Amino acid sequence: MKLFVPKERDSAEPRVAASPDTVKKLKGLGFDIVVESRAGIDSRITDEAFTAAGATIGSADDARDADVVLKVRRPTDEELSSYKRGAVVIAIMDPYGQDEAVGRMADAGISAFAMEFMPRITRAQVMDVLSSQANLAGYQAVIDAAATYDRAFPMMMTAAGTVPAARVFVMGAGVAGLQAIATAKRLGAVVSATDVRPAAKEQVESLGGKFIAVEDEEFKQAETAGGYAKEMSKEYQAKQAELVASHIAKQDVVITTALIPGRPAPRLVTRQMVDSMKPGSVLVDLAVERGGNVEGAVAGEVAEVGPAKVVGYLNVPGRIAATASLLYAKNVLAFLETMVDKETKALKLDFSDQLISATALTQDGKVVHPNFQKKAEPAPASAPEAAPDQNGAEPAKGND
């Protein structure tokens, strides 16, 4: 079995889909591994480190005879043209709103698997890329907030006077939000948080945060069986917005993480709310790649909005790529292991396995995922090449 790990084509993507540790384990599964030169350089993984683990350093041309390709982002059209038909390609595919791109993957004849569609079941926890990357995004959001905020986070009692603790409000208490709460607490902030899922209240309070929400009957039913937040009614959103608005006015830092898979990010913080904050306040919008939770957020920038700064960095897990790549590589390895027959050391795709059926996007020249079968159409031969995907990992459930 031949496996290829390319350097990501998007210049804004520093992560890589393998590590020296996973290369060693992939060798044990029976793979001959080629890593494109400098694929891991932005994640502090040198070619020499991959070679020492058992990989061969090659070029993009090595994708042509690979049985398996491990990536971070969805392959570009140029990359697809170099893959052999039947190749297994595993990546964060970000397929929502990209029907033509999904169709082109089907046309290329690859078996494409979307890591972000991993079912939320016990045996898939080690493969949960959304959680591994969102966890890091939540941590980094607080670090970015602290770097942008021009005051200290913890309360300090000094001979010159007392420095009050920063007040941090986290909106969305999923994986990213809970890590943001924990990190802000470690830095000494006074932390509060909100979420539409009832189970989040206990989680927030267990980390030392104060829970802020309108706890009516709709709130009690606001969670899917899969653990995701449901989209709330306009009436509830209005009541929650009123409560949140009065709370935001008292905060120094607001971190938003709310994202609904396959939909634009919900608007949580209006310009009026931002204007009510104190001069020098900071907001970090982790959903900016899907339109943003904060009015005035600018993708890829730190925007001056009224009295505050709104941090809208893209690909936040990629800001700590050296760590993010190690976790992502382990997610991918754990998933790929389920596709390998341990006795024959050959690929074996069992579509009766929930892990495989839930994540499969394309197979045998067709779009096979039910969410995209009716929408994705084969691309015409004259279709222009699509630009590299700019959204990256973070959603799907992405940041939260």
Residue 158: half-sphere exposure toward Cβ, Cα within 13 Å: 8
Closest C-alpha among 229, 211, 210 to residue 398: 229
Candidates 120, 267, 319, 390; catalytic one: 120
Candidates 42, 62, 107, 128; catalytic one: 128
Candidates 67, 228, 354, 390; catalytic one: 228
73 is catalytic: no
Candidates 125, 221, 246, 272; catalytic one: 125
The helix-helix angle for 321-337 and 129-148 (nearest 10°) equals 170
Strand partners of residue 113:
90, 360
Closest C-alpha among 300, 350, 28, 34 to residue 144: 300
Q: Which amino acid is at 39?
A: A
Closest C-alpha among 229, 201, 230, 228 to residue 214: 201
373-391 burial code (b ≥16 CB/10 A, e <16): eeebeebeeeeeebebbeb
Strands lying side by side in the sheet with 88-92: 56-58, 32-36, 2-5, 68-73, 88-92, 111-114, 360-363, 366-367
131 is catalytic: yes
SS3 211: strand
Candidates 19, 131, 192, 325; catalytic one: 131
77 is catalytic: no
Task: Let me know: does 284 contact 166? Beta carbons within 8 Å.
Answer: no
Closest C-alpha among 4, 76, 67 to residue 33: 4
Closest C-alpha among 128, 104, 127, 133 to residue 372: 104
What span, in angstroms and rounded, lies between the C-alpha atoms of 23 and 26?
5
The vertex-98 CA angle with 392 and 2, nearest 5°, equals 65
Tokens (6 digits) for 326: 């190690």
Task: Let me know: does 69 contact 88? Beta carbons within 8 Å.
Answer: yes
83 is catalytic: no
120 is catalytic: yes
Q: Which amino acid is at 343?
A: E
The string of DSSP letters for 44-84 reads: T--HHHHHHHT-EEE-GGGGGG-SEEEEEEPPPHHHHTTSP
Catalytic residues: 120, 125, 128, 131, 228
